[in-house]
Structure 1
């Protein structure tokens, strides 16, 4: 009987981020903070938290640094900055550069939303503000961080960029009185931006992917969730019977940042429990 051709490989620590340096924009609350917590607990040595409000950044960093299961010496840093402006982005890069000579992971998560009926959408707040922060700022954040992302990247250990898109950028978003036209368009745009940047930056050893959450309870989503029927109704409409949890976004970001996600580039991880493919009116037996 012929000997089986079995060759096993060492997959130990395939999800480990030991010693990695990460930057999370929009990281003081919600999905950004959950992701930052996951990155730190997965082994990152430095995680930089950025948002517009200094107090919010400092509170988030204090909570992160109090985590009991991070690596010895690991630390979160508060780097408040306004990512909606080019000057703010450049200041963020400069401040991060004072503490590290490279960045392994950039989670470009800062964003904004706006809900209004079709006839009530205004140019400045209802459109320009959302598109500027959700698309333009994401591009320039990645562009300005590129030198730090490339500093120690290699084919075997590429740096990672993760952008936050949304299921609203894949399927139809909210309509009616709380329609999210600019938000949905911006999230579709940033998803395709990630695909283009994956091709552009891949040869520079920087992988670019997206995460597309459905409903996760958060300050930004809670009011829309209430107007959409509330938590219980939204859970019943989901094929898996629940909404997103902090561990869901943390796990996806850790996966895309780790060796386990080393051959994923230009793709998106949808985090909605199957809702995007469901009828939205599933009957529970």
Structure 2
């Protein structure tokens, strides 16, 4: 009879030692939190990309000063516009100059736009959809050859798509309505499920994460306009907003051997706030930016 207490190499279950990762939108906020976690969990290289080269360089400098990295591990700046085909192709070409394979793609780059329904511009809606949906698809499609290089049945590559609780419920409405953001994040969740089925046989697992409110540069404006940090924290069942470690833990789990049989999943990271808002009759439903 098999020993049901035996676990294969449990000490390395959450290790990313030697892995190569790409983080789009990795120069700030949740993307930078995740990039820090990937490096500290053992990645040998983490490529940081966003539109602004200076922001990428600054993020990489911060990451490379972390004290507990594996010997030789480093972050690399690869600025590119992930909302266009040319930008994604440039990104892949830059990464390919440094490595012949990628093990982890965190498709995190995102944009939002807040404006009332009657004046919500078509150009803004398209911009948000281009980055949050089309950009995700193009990134996965163009990185697929590098993701397949070392992927095996027992050690699959990973794609993690940053969606939002706004794609699971209702985003912000009113003067700062985020119609494009909410629609794009719902689309990103469904896209990730489709990609999971398509790419699973190629040994590439695809999952999405749905953060709630985290105090970041992108979210702080809406947080303040809709009651402030303390009010939003009080609405959550666990009475706080998200912390960098909350994103770090989920990303490392999905990227590591611990998550090697998780595919097509959507993980909500909001302390249960989405379900709490669905019970409120006279309060607006929260959104994450």
Specify if TM > 0.5. yes
What are the ranges of 5 or more consecutive residues in structure 2 without an aligned counterpart?
281-289
1:12 positional shift: 2.0
From 259, 262, 269, give the equivalent of 1:264. Answer: 262
Q: Distance in 1 between matches of 2:207 and 2:50?
A: 21
Instruction: Give the secondary structure class of the aligned counterpart of 1:209.
Output: strand
Instruction: Give the secondary structure class of the aligned counterpart of 1:59.
Output: helix
- Equivalence map 1:70-81=2 (5 Å): 70-81=69-80
1:111 positional shift: 0.7
1:228 positional shift: 1.2
1:267 positional shift: 0.6
What are the ranges of 5 or more consecutive residues in structure 1 without an aligned counterpart?
none
1:274 maps to: 272
- Post-superposition, which runs of at least 4 consecutive aligned residues in structure 1 deviate over 6 A? none
1:84 positional shift: 1.2
1:145 maps to: 143
Q: Distance in 2 between matches of 1:4 and 1:219?
A: 51
Normalised by the length of structure 1, the TM-score is 0.95
Instruction: Give the secondary structure class of the aligned counterpart of 1:226.
Output: helix
- Cα deviation, 1:75-106, whole Å, max 9, x if unaligned, reads 00000011111101000000000000000000
From 161, 164, 168, give the equivalent of 1:163. Answer: 161
1:243 maps to: 241
Q: Distance in 2 between matches of 1:228 and 1:24?
A: 30
Q: Distance in 2 between matches of 1:182 and 1:143?
A: 23
Q: Distance in 2 between matches of 1:48 and 1:144?
A: 15
Q: Distance in 2 between matches of 1:230 and 1:6?
A: 49
Please give the root-mean-square deviation of Cα atoms over the aligned residues, in Å: 1.3
Q: 1:6 to 1:95 in 2, by over 3 A?
A: closer
2:19 maps to: 20
Q: Distance in 1 between matches of 2:137 and 2:7?
A: 38
1:268 positional shift: 1.0
From 203, 218, 226, give the equivalent of 1:205. Answer: 203
Q: 1:229 to 1:66 in 2, by over 3 A?
A: same
2:285 maps to: none
